[in-house]
Amino acid sequence: MAPKSLEKSKIKFLLLEGVHPSAVEMLRSAGYENIELHQKALPAEDLKAAIANAHFVGIRSRTQLTEDVFAAARKLVAVGCFCIGTNQVDLAAATRRGIAVFNAPFSNTRSVAELVIAEAILLLRGVAAKNAAAHRGEWQKSATASYEIRGKRLGIVGYGNIGMQLGVIAEGLGMQVQFCDVVSKLPLGNARQIPGLDQLLAQSDVVSLHVPETKATRNMMGAGQLALMPRGSILINASRGSVVDIDALAANLESGHIGGAGIDVFPVEPRSNDDEFLSPLRAFDNTILTPHIGGSTVEAQANIGMEVAEKLAHYSDNGTSTSSVNFPEVALPEHEGSHRLLHIHHNVPGIMSAINRVFSEYDVNVSAQFLQTNEAIGYVVIDVDAEYSDLALEKLTNIDGTIRSRVLF
Ligand SMILES: NC(=O)c1ccc[n+]([C@@H]2O[C@H](COP(=O)([O-])OP(=O)(O)OC[C@H]3O[C@@H](n4cnc5c(N)ncnc54)[C@H](O)[C@@H]3O)[C@@H](O)[C@H]2O)c1
Ligand SMILES: O=C(O)CC[C@@H](O)C(=O)O
């Protein structure tokens, strides 16, 4: 039997990692009451048990949604990443199962940019090291190697939503902004795009990384790249821990080649606030080490909670998939007076004709049809008269190549 439209009270949301209460408020206001909340990420086996009967799951950056976890999540319809990064989700596995993945691409970008600017100022002034010394009772009053941010060259690696905002704020403080990116970008203000990473590194006083975690960005700042940076320059990483070779950075801090570092993300991060943070960088006073809190402000978290919860509720209520990171995007009107069939299928030839055959063969009155595809899957939404929806759903579900289908009343 094909799955029917579920009562809202039966639709389960599993929210992990202390997602902001604004998400719960938003879901409740949309009529969803079955919400299981956890303040932490769950260990793998507990996650599989909890996700087994969840229709929606909300995570941040710690929960790894792997093939194995998806295999245990038989009822899962969509994932909400209450953050920007989606590298913690096996997107291909989600897509294969017809599970839509959403994130919040903008809500915490300002928070990250502000933290980076603060760190650039503090590190250029040597405040990190002087502060650590003062805590030990040492008084290091000196202007040696203490600089204003004004006039310094900021090299931004990855000129996306965060990199661009950072550039604008930095320019307001008098910095010379330059960036590199894999695609050509329109520079804001007086910023300049530099053709390659090596060139950017060689001519920047402060380098800040804002790339996603991909194969290409893994260890993109290794020993060779750090050596290109001018002696005494500053490195800031608030992107992903895999982007910087931490041992190479430690060696460069030890030798004094790198004058200071602000690191918010690490190759291995503690699973919870109760676990010890281990890193060779702990040995260096001239580093600002933060526990992956670039986007953790009250404002950002509240906005992310609302934004992602709204996307999940909307997808659940009427099938709209706009801004999904792995799913064909369809913006749908309401479907009052008709039942809405949602059909997700492998993007192979012949499926659309098989779908349309169902409606002509059984003389089903279709009031609206929407179709969108990506390389892997197709997503078709069909509004039909209520009396036909059971039959049509049954027939659609039996078409070869169907991944999943559901009906909304
Ligand atoms: N520390 C935190 O709390 C925190 C918060 C938000 C985001 N992040 C991380 O920051 C990253 C960037 O966020 P964003 O919103 O600016 O993303 P974005 O997608 O808007 O921008 C990323 C930019 O990097 C560029 N890029 C990709 N690969 C590259 C490469 N190999 N070399 C150079 N440029 C490359 C892209 O073209 C794009 O312009 C996110 O992917 C996320 O991992 C961390
Ligand atoms: O909130 C988090 O856990 C991660 C935040 C950040 O890394 C992001 O990708 O938005």
Kind of pairing between the strands at 377-384 and 366-373: antiparallel
- Which comes out higher in pLDDT, residue 169 or 369? 169
CA 295 to centroid of ligand 2, rounded, Å: 6
Whole-number Å distance between alpha carbons of 396 and 20: 38
Cβ of residue 260 lying under 6 Å from some atom of ligand 1: no
Q: Please, which pLDDT band fits residue 392 given cuts at 50, 70 and 90?
A: confident
Q: Please, which pLDDT band fits residue 44 given cuts at 50, 70 and 90?
A: very high
Residue ranges matching CATH 3.30.70.260 in the chain: 334-408
What's the length of the chain? Answer: 409
Answer whether residue 252 shows pLDDT above 90: yes
Q: Please, which pLDDT band fits residue 3 given cuts at 50, 70 and 90?
A: low
Answer whether residue 183 shows pLDDT above 90: yes
- Which comes out higher in pLDDT, residue 162 or 335? 162
The CATH number corresponding to 10-103+297-327 among 3.10.20.310, 3.40.50.720, 3.30.300.130, 3.40.50.2300 equals: 3.40.50.720
CA distances from 395 to 194, 357, 371, 409 (A): 56, 10, 18, 18
Report the nearest atom of ligand 2 relative to the CA of 82. 1
What's the pLDDT at 390? 86
The residue type of 328 is P
Span 14-25, mean pLDDT? 97
Q: Please, which pLDDT band fits residue 345 given cuts at 50, 70 and 90?
A: very high
- What are the tens digits of pLDDT across the range 319-336? 999 999 999 999 998 888
CA 209 to centroid of ligand 1, rounded, Å: 8
Hey, what long-range contacts does 63-67 have (CB within 8 A, 24 or more apart)? 63/16, 63/17, 63/88, 64/88, 65/89, 65/90, 65/93, 65/94, 66/90, 66/93, 67/93
What's the pLDDT at 254? 98
Which among 109, 217, 239 is the best mutation to test ligand 1's pocket, defined by most ligand atoms within 8 Å of the CB?
A: 239
- What are the tens digits of pLDDT across the range 70-113? 999 999 999 999 999 999 999 999 999 999 999 999 999 999 99
Residue nearest to atom 19 of ligand 1 (CA): 160
Which among 20, 84, 209, 239 is the best mutation to test ligand 2's pocket, defined by most ligand atoms within 8 Å of the CB?
A: 84
Contact assessment for residue 365 and residue 388, using Cβ atoms and an 8 Å cutoff? yes
Answer whether residue 160 shows pLDDT above 70: yes
Report the nearest atom of ligand 1 relative to the CA of 296. 3
CA 128 to centroid of ligand 1, rounded, Å: 26
Which ligand has its closest atom nearest to the C-alpha of 18? 2
CA 305 to centroid of ligand 2, rounded, Å: 12
Answer whether residue 219 shows pLDDT above 70: yes
Whole-number average pLDDT of the chain: 95
Asked casually if ipTM beats, i.e. exceeds, 0.95, the reply is: yes
Q: Please, which pLDDT band fits residue 365 given cuts at 50, 70 and 90?
A: confident
- What are the tens digits of pLDDT across the range 118-140? 999 999 999 999 999 999 999 99
Strands of the sheet containing 258-263, edge to edge, are 192-193, 176-180, 153-157, 206-209, 233-237, 258-263, 287-289
Tokens of 221: 């700042």
Q: Please, which pLDDT band fits residue 33 given cuts at 50, 70 and 90?
A: very high
Residue ranges matching CATH 3.40.50.720 in the chain: 10-103+297-327, 109-289
Block residue for tokens 């902001």: 20
What's the pLDDT at 4? 57
- Is 110 catalytic? The answer is no
> Which CATH architecture best describes the domain 109-289?
3-Layer(aba) Sandwich (3.40)
Answer whether residue 1 shows pLDDT above 80: no
Q: What is the pTM of this model?
A: 0.93
Give percent above pLDDT 90 in the chain: 87
Residue nearest to atom 5 of ligand 2 (CA): 83
- Is 269 catalytic? The answer is yes
Which among 82, 106, 292, 293 is the best mutation to test ligand 2's pocket, defined by most ligand atoms within 8 Å of the CB?
A: 292
- Is 335 catalytic? The answer is no
Q: What is the dihedral of CA 369, 380, 356, 3, to 10 degrees?
A: -110
CATH topology of domain 334-408: Alpha-Beta Plaits (3.30.70)
